[in-house]
Structure 1
Amino acid sequence: MGKLDGKVACITGGTRSIGRAMAEAFIAEGAKVVVNGRNAEKGAECLAEMGAGDNADFYAGDAAKQDAVEGLIDFTIERYGQLDICCLNSGGVLNTAPVAQMSDEEWQLEIDWNLNHVFWGMRRALQHMIPRESGRVIVTSSVEGKLGKPGIPGYSATKHAVNGLVKAAAQEVGTLGITVNAILPGLIETDIVRDTGPDSAVAMGLDGYDALIEMFSAESAIKRPNKVEEVGAVALFLASDAARNMTGNMFPVDGGTMPY
C-alpha cells in the first residue's frame, strides 16, 4: 500500500526540477499525476522517463496565464475524476533588476507567474475540494518569501505575498479536511536558475553565476545547494494523511538558511 493510493495530483512546472521530483515521489506512493509545462516535447519526454503509464499525463500551458492554470485543474479532474493534491510549483524571474531599474513588463510577469498563478490555481482547486471536504494545496514559495535580497525585489515581494495567501486560505478551509501549506526551498540549481542565474547575479551585484551559488550556499548550515529530491520528500509528507493537521505553515527546505 502506497501513502497516496487512490489520490490524484496536479503540478504546475512539473516536467523538470522541483515539480518533477514531486511527481516522481507521488507516483512512487500510488498517486496518479498530471504534470504541466510550456513545452509539449519536454512533456512527452518527462512522461516517457517517468514510465508511469496511465498513472501520469501532461497538460501544456504557461503557468503565468490564467487559462492555462485553470485548464490544468479542469483537465486533471476530467482525466482522473477528482483532484486531491494541487501543487502550485512553477515560478521564477526572467529579467530581474533592482527596483530603480525594474521594467513594468518584468514586474507584471513576476506577479503573474509567482503570485497570480498560485491564486488562480488555488481558487480553482478549492472550488473542487470544498464540496468533497478533502484536499491538499501545496505551494512552492522560497526562502525569499521571508528574506529580502538586492536585485530580486519582484521575486521577494511575490513570494512574501504567496506566504500570506497560504495562511489566509488555510484559515478559510481549515475545518473542511483541506490543508494549505507552502514549501520554502533554499537555492537549488534548477534549469530556471541555470538559465537566469548569470543575469540575476549581475542584478544582485555579484561576480557571475558561481558567486551566486557560493553566496547562497554560504548562508546555509549545510554549505551546499539543496536538492530537488529533498523538496519532493517534504511535498510527499504534506500530501499524506500524516500531515492532516498541518496547515497554514511555511516549511523551509533550505539547509538551515532560515533565521526563523
Structure 2
Amino acid sequence: MDLDGKTALVTGGTRGIGLAIAHTLHRHGARVVITGRSEEHGAAALARLDAGDDITLCLADATHRPDAERAVDTVVDRYGHLDVVVNNVGGATDFATVADITDETWHHTLALNLDTALYTTRHALSRLLPQRSGRVINISSMEGRDPDPGLCAYAAAKHALIGLTRVLAKEVGPYGITANCVCPGAVETDWVTEQGPKAARVLGTDYPGLIGHFTGRTTTGRLTRPEEVAAAVLLLASHEGSGITGSCIAVDGGTTV
C-alpha cells in the first residue's frame, strides 16, 4: 500500500491513535500535517516521528471552525495538494448518565467529536471535489455501535459521526472520493490512564475493574494497540482500499461481535 506522492491531514495527531496514524501514513510514503492544541505535545510528536520536512505540525483547535479550516489550508500551502483527511480529534472527557448530564457537557462532547469532523471535512471538500479524488476517514468508536452506560454524549456523537460518514459517502462517491469510519475499541493510549479512573467511577467500579470490563468484552482478551487502528486507516487511505466506502471498520478485538 504505497502512498508516495500523497498528502494527509491527521487531526489530533500529536498523541495516541492520531500519532500512530501519522507515523503509519508517513512510513508508507505520505507527507503529513498533524494538528493539536498543545505546543508541548506537538514538539514531542515531531521528535518521535523524526520525519524532517515530511511531517508538519499545525497548532489548532478543531472545535473552532477557523482553526479547522486553517489546518486544511496548511496541507495545501505546505505540500501543494490534499489527498487524505483523517478526522481523529475526539474523546470522552466527561462522563454522565442521561439523567445527570449537563448542557455544558453535552455540547462540549458533541463539539469535540462531531463538529470537528464537519468543519474539517467541509473545508477539505473545497479541495477534494475539484480534483475528483480523495479519502475522508473518520475515527468513530465501538461506543458508536455498542455503547456503555455513562457515555451518553460520547456515544451519541460517535453514532452521529457514523451517520455523517454514510451520507458523505453517497454525496461524494461520484467524484472519486471515499468516506469511511474506523471504530476502535478500548485502545492502549494516554486516555486510558488519564480518563480511566473517572470513567470507572461512573460505571461503579475502580480502574482495574474498568480495564477488566473492556477486555472482558473482547474476544482477544486485551486492549487494542494504536498501530492496529492505524493499519485500518492505511488501507482506507490507499489505492487498494478504493472500493471501500460508506463502511465502518471495527478494530475492537471483537467487542462488537
Q: TM-score, normalised by structure 1?
A: 0.96
Which residue number corresponds to residue 51 of structure 1? 50
Q: Which residue of 1 aligns with 2:210?
A: 212
Report the CA distance between 1:131 and its aligned residue: 0.3
> What is the aligned partner in structure 1 of residue 225 from structure 2?
227
Counterpart-to-counterpart distance in 2, 1:251 and 1:196: 25
Deviation by residue 1:105-126 (Cα, 9 ceiling, x = unmatched): 1111111000111111111111
Q: What does 1:72-151 align with in structure 2 at a 5 Å threshold?
A: 72-151=71-150
Q: Secondary structure at the match of 1:175?
A: helix
What is the letter of the counterpart of residue 225 of structure 1? Answer: L
Query: Any conservation in 2 of the 1:145–1:157 contact (CA below 8 Å)?
Result: yes
What are the superposed Cα offsets for residues 208-252 of structure 1, whole Å, 9 maximum, x if unpaired? 122111111111110100000100111111100001111000000
- Measure how far apart 1:13 and its partner are: 0.8
Asked whether the equivalents of residues 36 and 59 of structure 1 are also in contact (C-alpha less than 8 Å), the reply is yes
User: Greater shift after overlay, 16-25 or 61-70?
Assistant: 61-70
Partners of 1:30 and 1:148 lie apart in 2 by 36
Query: Once the 2 structures are TM-superposed, how far is the Cα of residue 204 of structure 1 from its aligned partner?
Result: 2.1
Is contact 2:184–2:224 with CA below 8 Å preserved after alignment?
Answer: yes
Deviation at 1:93, TM superposition (A): 2.0
User: Equivalent residue of 1:101, what SS?
Assistant: coil
Q: Would you say the 8 A contact 1:34–1:56 is kept in 2?
A: yes
Partner of 1:250: 248
What is the alpha-carbon distance in structure 2 between the residues aligned to residue 65 and residue 189 of structure 1?
Answer: 28
How far off is 1:177 after superposition?
1.0
Q: Distance in 2 between matches of 1:9 and 1:20?
A: 13
Which residue in the other structure is 1:23 paired with?
A: 22
1:244 is aligned with what amino acid?
S
Structure 1 unaligned runs (5+)? none
Structure 2 stretches lacking a partner, 5+ long: none
SS of 2:146's partner is coil
Q: How far apart are 1:64 and its partner, in Å?
A: 2.3
Shift of the alpha carbon at 1:162? 0.3
- Give runs of ≥4 in structure 1 deviating > 3 Å: none
Aligned-residue offset at 1:192: 2.2
Number of aligned pairs? Answer: 257
Distance 2:199 2:66 in 1: 29
RMSD between superposed Cα atoms in Å: 1.1
Please say if 1:6 is aligned against 2:5: yes
| 1:57 counterpart SS class | strand
Letter in 1 for 2:234: L
Secondary structure of the 2:186 match is coil
> Shift of residue 187 of structure 1?
0.4
Tell me the distance in 1 between the aligned counterparts of 2:153 and 2:61.
19
Q: Distance in 1 between matches of 2:151 and 2:250?
A: 19
Q: Which moved more, 1:190-199 or 1:79-88?
A: 190-199
Aligned equivalents of 1:167 and 1:52: distance in 2? 34
How many Å separate the matches in 2 of 1:71 and 1:254? Answer: 32
C-alpha distance after superposition, 1:64-95 (max 9, x if no partner) = 22222222111111111111000000111222
Q: TM-score, normalised by structure 2?
A: 0.97
Contact 1:64 1:109 in 2 (8 A): no
Paired position in structure 2 for 1:191: 190
Contact 1:34 1:57 in 2 (8 A): yes
1:169 and 2:154 are equivalent in the alignment: no
